[in-house]
Chain A
């Protein structure tokens, strides 16, 4: 037995020792929480494999990670963002391909033992090795998430994966940037064996030893897509053509043509399957080069970094450590309360007690919260044993029994200040002295709610978005007297619930509803000028929103929207006053509350949108007759958001453009590839935005008057992101 170390590196990440004919290589980036593949690591890899190739004692290689719960998280993104040109990016890809080609052609068999995240370049490395063993642990996630950053797997991933698991399964993973749990990865054929963590090393070693003796794993010739369907679709060129055509159509539908990466990945796979792996690799590198310097990729990477930063940002300066929440009290078991309860149980695994005035409502709320767990069980995200345990964390009653141990209580009762203050007083009488009381409100100032508090330092706003289980954003709103400790606790718990949290100043509409207000109001103006509902929505979708503003209102609920609109008008006056005319008040009066009542602007049947309800025009007293030019519709919708976002940022409603943009993207689906309203303003340049707004203001009224902040940036030729 001997220990050798790669030369000329001060703190080597790659080490190995040889025992009984098998070299065990360990990757462990010292001082880093996870392993990533950087240039330096690549050099160490090459040195290591060169040494092992020459070492006559070595007959096979085992490759493992030295990290506790991580294999390789991917390629080093920091390195990737410094790429200046397509040619440089293509070279990076080609280098990676060459290294993995050496691994794939390595004269001695290599077995990898995978435990923890094995993503992107990490999985591409594993693909190049000759045998893959993975643990059945929930932390073991395997996949190729590159398209989420606007790029494609470009170290052979687009070539090796379809050859291993079949074209259909490979496209399914690559095009969506999905990661799979180990069990699924095993079923698909992405790994050869699935084992419990304690025996991972042994079993990987045993596989290496078997291969050293000449054994080779038997795999389906056409990849994982076995069986008749597998042969029909994966096993011959004709079937594959069908698969590619269907996939292309689906990608275009899903991305609206705004995201080039999935199409490029499709091409890389298809080209490789048609022309062979060597040509495929070349094409893959070329496409990567082109994508790496696209604006879309840059934006997606920025969002990735911003989200990661936000995961660590305590939200305020000099934040004290948060109070750990073990037990959550929820007052109000309606749709929001149940959503918060179910998400808290499923994500944070806390003990949740719901309270409402009527046991029937409580029972409904507990069931609605449980539906979130039912869904996870159905989609096999949890086992039935985990399910049983999680379900037992949910309970409710018509009294405050059990709130005495709740470190955090969230109220989600009727949106009316008197009701909320009453609940606050009741809760304060029973919650522990250090318990935090959070109000889930979208319109009422936290400071005003806290006026009823004995201890306003422990009162805070937590504004969740609906449906809670799906919407990734949480606005945390400290009131005037909220203590830093309370902010820390709310932010930390929001994160445990899986939310991206932004801390927002206590002002009407907070951040998301405020910058949404001009967008929603503009619907009324546009309809009044003769635009049709479909056209308004389709213009927003063309800009890149997942759904248009009219559909969004239906989703939010027209009653809620009406209430918010009223609050905004009261707070901000003319600028955020809805268009004249009957407006959505008329629809609410007619019992049309949006999706939840089956009718809003659109008709909903069986949970599906069925098209515009033409009778809406009658209710609103208008008739679609063409309306403004499409491009102008789009501009009015978008610049309204941009202008209000700039103004609100100027008022420090959020503490940075980063928080503001993330809020817009995660709060209401501002197109990620545009980076958020403030980033978008930077791209257009403040000067142009101001000019456009001035023109709109002249034509449509002062609501479009450019904000001070934008004018200042225009004057000084500066940007939000400097």
Chain B
């Protein structure tokens, strides 16, 4: 029984590039390059003819000023006819899950049969902005009618105007950074430093296992060297096999030096990467001969006051999604929770437990999470959908849940079903 109205939507396959800490192995790639690469490899792996695709939707959180609509550049890959429309969206860290759910809606409504949804982020390639004053002066100079007028305008530039501005990961409405929010949540929910470190270590251990046994690498398309001598990237490079609780304990907290508990080790790193997911209507999957991994049963989004607990909205989104799916928490066989910070994961779990839901860690983030694997903002949702779908198939689990916290006090939840 479909949880949502309309036609049933299948997840056929998903791939992603390796996730690399920004400034490392993918630093020369732009987000658009990563997105196109992942999408092309998705076509290769699924043997899908580009002609079959009706629309392309991509998420990106920090878009490049030069490629504002990354989705369209993906759909202009030469493997596609040029007539495939595409758009890009931003629901912060839930962007790629939003792309998947938006694709779902178009298929459910009968507007499309086959959609590629994904996300990309190149935090090695963030836009560096000119100061507002410099920008104003440049615009004014470009409108100047004579050379003299132009020089006069330029003369207004002061040294401090030349200092570039990098976009901060802070809430525009409160000025609070993501890390400060995580710190605040740790305190309010009494999440101890050791519990956070333990969760981070768990993330690394399970991700390393998933990498070693090939379950995690199964979703990765190797990134071929772009210039002679450059290495081939086949794995996520944030996963650590050599760390321990003792080592983690040595790290200084970043956001509150005196009483803080959030450290670089129990937070997700800035990451480059892209993901792409192939969605089809049930009919299209059958007609084209594809065996779905999972189906989308329901999804829901919630938001809270960013000044409260910025990353706690999942505790409102998940019940909504479960209700729409017509199932209970206990029906879930696998759960993927996005790990922005260990304090956020543990706060979310605390919130779920407060509803009387039993927390079974054995089915949560079974191959680790964003803390170890990395978190390219726009791309993470595609990874979650892919990882969960693949693992649901492996374990033959009927219901799986995705829970994502996002900037702006938003939470995103999605229920997948195997049959």
Contact residues in A for B148 (Cβ distance below 8 Å): none
> Is A402's CB within 8 Å of the partner chain B?
yes
> Is B16's CB within 8 Å of the partner chain A?
no
Chain A 357-371 interface 0/1 with B at a Cβ cutoff of 8 Å (1 = within): 001101110110000
Known: A359-B222, A401-B45, A402-B47. A392 touches B232 (CB 8 A): no
Per a CB cutoff under 8 Å, which of A360, A366, A393, A397 touches B44?
A397
Nearest Cβ on chain A to B292's Cβ, whole angstroms:
18
Known: A367-B225, A367-B227, A392-B77. A359 touches B234 (CB 8 A): yes
CB-nearest residue of chain A to B223: A363
Instruction: List residues of B (258-306) whose CB comes within 8 Å of A's CBs.
Output: none
Which of under 10, 10 to 19, 20 to 34, or 35 or more describes the interface residues of B? 10 to 19
Per a CB cutoff under 8 Å, which of A360, A393, A395, A404 touches B232?
A360
Nearest Cβ on chain A to B223's Cβ, whole angstroms:
9
> Is B202's CB within 8 Å of the partner chain A?
no
> Is B224's CB within 8 Å of the partner chain A?
yes
Q: What 16 additional pairs, Cβ within 8 angstroms, besides A360-B232, A395-B224? A: A349-B78, A359-B222, A367-B227, A392-B40, A392-B77, A392-B78, A392-B79, A393-B78, A395-B41, A397-B221, A398-B222, A401-B41, A401-B47, A402-B47, A405-B47, A405-B49
The CA of A238 and the CA of B41, in the complex, are separated in Å by 63
Q: Is the CB of B78 within 8 A of A351?
A: yes
CB-nearest residue of chain A to B51: A326
The CA of A168 and the CA of B411, in the complex, are separated in Å by 71
What are 27 A-to-B residue pairs whose CB atoms are below 8 Å? A351-B78, A351-B79, A353-B44, A359-B222, A359-B234, A362-B224, A363-B224, A363-B225, A364-B228, A367-B227, A367-B228, A389-B78, A390-B78, A392-B36, A393-B78, A393-B79, A395-B40, A395-B44, A397-B41, A397-B44, A397-B221, A401-B41, A402-B44, A402-B45, A402-B47, A404-B47, A405-B47
> Is B43's CB within 8 Å of the partner chain A?
yes
Binding site for A on B (CB under 8 A): 36, 40-41, 43-45, 47, 49, 77-79, 221-222, 224-225, 227-228, 232, 234
> Is A396's CB within 8 Å of the partner chain B?
yes
The CA of A362 and the CA of B232, in the complex, are separated in Å by 10
Q: Is the CB of A402 within 8 A of B227?
A: no
Contact residues in B for A351 (Cβ distance below 8 Å): 78-79
Chain A 395-413 interface 0/1 with B at a Cβ cutoff of 8 Å (1 = within): 1111001101100000000
The CA of A675 and the CA of B47, in the complex, are separated in Å by 48
Chain A 331-355 interface 0/1 with B at a Cβ cutoff of 8 Å (1 = within): 0000000000000000001010100
Contact residues in A for B221 (Cβ distance below 8 Å): 397
Q: Is the CB of A359 within 8 A of B232?
A: yes
Instruction: List residues of A (380-435) whose CB comes within 8 Å of B's CBs.
Output: 389-390, 392-393, 395-398, 401-402, 404-405
Contact residues in A for B227 (Cβ distance below 8 Å): 367
Contact residues in A for B41 (Cβ distance below 8 Å): 395, 397, 401
5 closest A-B pairs (Cβ-Cβ)? A402-B44, A404-B47, A363-B224, A363-B225, A401-B44
Binding site for B on A (CB under 8 A): 349, 351, 353, 359-360, 362-364, 366-367, 389-390, 392-393, 395-398, 401-402, 404-405
Contact residues in B for A402 (Cβ distance below 8 Å): 43-45, 47
Nearest Cβ on chain A to B69's Cβ, whole angstroms:
16
Contact residues in B for A364 (Cβ distance below 8 Å): 228
Nearest Cβ on chain B to A342's Cβ, whole angstroms:
15
Nearest Cβ on chain A to B309's Cβ, whole angstroms:
44
CB-nearest residue of chain A to B222: A359
The CA of A13 and the CA of B222, in the complex, are separated in Å by 60
CB-nearest residue of chain A to B36: A392
Contact residues in B for A363 (Cβ distance below 8 Å): 224-225, 232
Contact residues in B for A392 (Cβ distance below 8 Å): 36, 40, 77-79
Nearest Cβ on chain A to B304's Cβ, whole angstroms:
42
Nearest Cβ on chain B to A426's Cβ, whole angstroms:
16
Contact residues in A for B222 (Cβ distance below 8 Å): 359, 397-398
CB-nearest residue of chain A to B224: A363
Contact residues in A for B228 (Cβ distance below 8 Å): 364, 367
Nearest Cβ on chain A to B73's Cβ, whole angstroms:
10
CB-nearest residue of chain B to A389: B78
Contact residues in A for B232 (Cβ distance below 8 Å): 359-360, 363
Centre residue among A390, A397, A398, A402 by max chain B CB count within 10 A: A402
Nearest Cβ on chain B to A533's Cβ, whole angstroms:
33
Nearest Cβ on chain A to B419's Cβ, whole angstroms:
26
Contact residues in B for A349 (Cβ distance below 8 Å): 78
The CA of A367 and the CA of B228, in the complex, are separated in Å by 7
The CA of A401 and the CA of B43, in the complex, are separated in Å by 9
CB-nearest residue of chain B to A366: B224
Contact residues in A for B45 (Cβ distance below 8 Å): 401-402
The CA of A349 and the CA of B224, in the complex, are separated in Å by 21
Contact residues in A for B36 (Cβ distance below 8 Å): 392
Q: Is the CB of A396 within 8 A of B224?
A: yes
The CA of A366 and the CA of B228, in the complex, are separated in Å by 10
Nearest Cβ on chain B to A401's Cβ, whole angstroms:
5
The CA of A397 and the CA of B41, in the complex, are separated in Å by 9
CB-nearest residue of chain A to B79: A351
Nearest Cβ on chain B to A436's Cβ, whole angstroms:
17
Contact residues in B for A359 (Cβ distance below 8 Å): 222, 224, 232, 234
The CA of A362 and the CA of B36, in the complex, are separated in Å by 19
The CA of A402 and the CA of B40, in the complex, are separated in Å by 10
Nearest Cβ on chain B to A387's Cβ, whole angstroms:
12
Nearest Cβ on chain A to B62's Cβ, whole angstroms:
22
The CA of A153 and the CA of B43, in the complex, are separated in Å by 52
The CA of A551 and the CA of B225, in the complex, are separated in Å by 34
Nearest Cβ on chain A to B329's Cβ, whole angstroms:
38
Centre residue among B41, B47, B49 by max chain A CB count within 10 A: B47
Nearest Cβ on chain B to A362's Cβ, whole angstroms:
7
